[in-house]
Chain A
Amino acid sequence: MSINVTLFAQMLVFGLLVWFTMSFVWPLIRGAMEEREQTIADGLAAAEKGQKDLEQAGVEAGKIVEEARDQARDILGKANSRANEIVDTARSEGEAEKRKRLDSAQSELEVEINRARDELRQQVAVLAVAGAEKVLSREIDEAAHRDLLDQLAADL
């Protein structure tokens, strides 16, 4: 067992191995590991953010649904009152129309009645005159008694 040139050969080999490891092995492996660590960290952060976004979205969706429900209730209420209004209006209009028709029919009837009465009166006067003429044709001067007869007809 003696120390000799082997020692220096070993030092040289050792130096070369360390140099090779330092230049070509260590940086590549550490680089890949660090890159992966970064990727994983990013992924975790993204997942957390996604979770938070989801929660936020849920809250917002609830709010929107609540609003929509309120709006629907509003619209329904308005529609109901509008319908009532329409029905009321229609009813009052119909009643007014009915009354108008009734009135006009009544007045027409009255006019007809008056006219019929007038006609009847006239005809009664004519008849009376004709009858009286026939009865009195001989003894009464038509011209002399005309006023009297007209007055009678008007009193009928």
Chain B
Amino acid sequence: MEDTHEGPASATDYIVHHLTNLDTEHALHTELANPFWNLHWDSIFYSVILGIIFVGSFFAAARKATAGLPGGWQNFVELIVEFVDTQVKDSFHGSSKLIAPLALTIFCWIFLMNFMDLVPVDLLPALGLMVGIEYMKVVPTTDLNITFGMSITVFLLMIFYSIKIKGASGFAKELLLHPFGKWMIPFNFLLKLVEEFAKPVSLALRLFGNLYAGELIFILIALFTLSAGVNSLGENLSSVGTITAFIIQVILGLAWAIFHILIITLQAFIFMMLTIVYLSMAHEEH
């Protein structure tokens, strides 16, 4: 644990610093007795802020929603709602008041959290440093707690709907008797357990992995000028090497950011789609 932060001493320090959450221990410079209570303040802060931005802006459109000619923002909101509704209707054939709003929330919220990846990697942490916040990860979806928090909620909903639709005995039968009949109950159960637990784990890890890797690459790209600067400490910072590194960084950063627009949208969409599919599977009788 560092007590003071004096800027990156080396490239490794820089990367590690960027991948460290502002948790309670780092914020208060203490060691907690139980690491379970080591809340990641930055992840929760950005996730809540982005969640409020999502529901706030959508609620603003919903409150003034008219059946007449929709204004610009209402139009945009309706576009997204229509898009999500189509996906839900295509994959989910039961009737549920929850699934579509759930899918909408997942899509928009994850998209916004992913979008933080496109904010220049050093901008918000540097601003935080100015007001004395030493560590800050601005992309909540690069935190396993956040992605697992969502996928486990989805998992609980899957179990809830399985039991609600099929009854406790039906759910138990599904766990024990498929796919090989009653003589293979332990094997069936093991298989089903793996199958079911793979769902939330893959949901969470897929999102986390994509965003974590994306963030890491942004950090590495940022290192071009930074390492040039670090290497030339004491020398003339506007040397030819630094300028070249700067140009390369701009080009790579631009290319990766443009590519990343696709990734963040795709990951939000995949999470939403799989949630719909998993919940529709939970609704189906076998």
CA distance A33 to B47 in the complex (A): 29
**B202 contacts which chain A residues (CB < 8 A)?**
none
A152 at the interface (CB under 8 A from B): no
A61 at the interface (CB under 8 A from B): no
* Contact assessment for A32 and B44 in the assembled complex, using a CB-CB cutoff below 8 Å: no
- Tell me how far the C-beta of A4 lies from the nearest C-beta in chain B, rounded to whole angstroms: 5
**A30 contacts which chain B residues (CB < 8 A)?**
81, 85
**How many residues on B have C-beta within 8 angstroms of the other chain's C-beta atoms?**
47
CA distance A56 to B55 in the complex (A): 53
**B54 contacts which chain A residues (CB < 8 A)?**
17
Q: Secondary structure at chain B's binding surface: helix, strand, loop or mixed? A: helix
B13 at the interface (CB under 8 A from A): no
- Tell me how far the C-beta of B227 lies from the nearest C-beta in chain A, rounded to whole angstroms: 24
* Contact assessment for A18 and B143 in the assembled complex, using a CB-CB cutoff below 8 Å: no
- Tell me how far the C-beta of B164 lies from the nearest C-beta in chain A, rounded to whole angstroms: 16
| Segment at the interface with B among A19-27, A68-76, A116-124 | A19-27
* Contact assessment for B51 and A13 in the assembled complex, using a CB-CB cutoff below 8 Å: yes
* Contact assessment for A6 and B35 in the assembled complex, using a CB-CB cutoff below 8 Å: no
Q: Using C-beta atoms within 8 Å of the partner chain, give the interface range for chain A.
A: 20 to 34
**A32 contacts which chain B residues (CB < 8 A)?**
65-67, 70, 74, 78
CA distance A6 to B140 in the complex (A): 11
* Contact assessment for B149 and A11 in the assembled complex, using a CB-CB cutoff below 8 Å: yes
| Segment at the interface with A among B102-110, B168-176, B229-237 | B102-110
Q: Which of A6, A11, A25, A33 contacts B153 (CB 8 A)?
A: A11
CA distance A10 to B101 in the complex (A): 18
* Contact assessment for A3 and B145 in the assembled complex, using a CB-CB cutoff below 8 Å: yes
Residue in B35, B40, B43 with the greatest tally of chain A CB atoms within 10 Å: B40
- Tell me how far the C-beta of B160 lies from the nearest C-beta in chain A, rounded to whole angstroms: 12
**A3 contacts which chain B residues (CB < 8 A)?**
144-145, 148
Q: Which of A5, A21, A39 contacts B105 (CB 8 A)?
A: A21
CA distance A4 to B37 in the complex (A): 6
CA distance A97 to B181 in the complex (A): 128
* Contact assessment for B68 and A25 in the assembled complex, using a CB-CB cutoff below 8 Å: no
- Tell me how far the C-beta of A6 lies from the nearest C-beta in chain B, rounded to whole angstroms: 4
**B183 contacts which chain A residues (CB < 8 A)?**
none
CA distance A25 to B59 in the complex (A): 5
Given A10-B145, A15-B153; A28-B62 close (CB under 8 Å): yes
CA distance A1 to B38 in the complex (A): 11
CA distance A84 to B141 in the complex (A): 106
Would you give 7 A-B contacts (Cβ < 8 Å), ordered by A? A3-B144, A4-B40, A9-B149, A11-B152, A13-B51, A18-B98, A30-B85
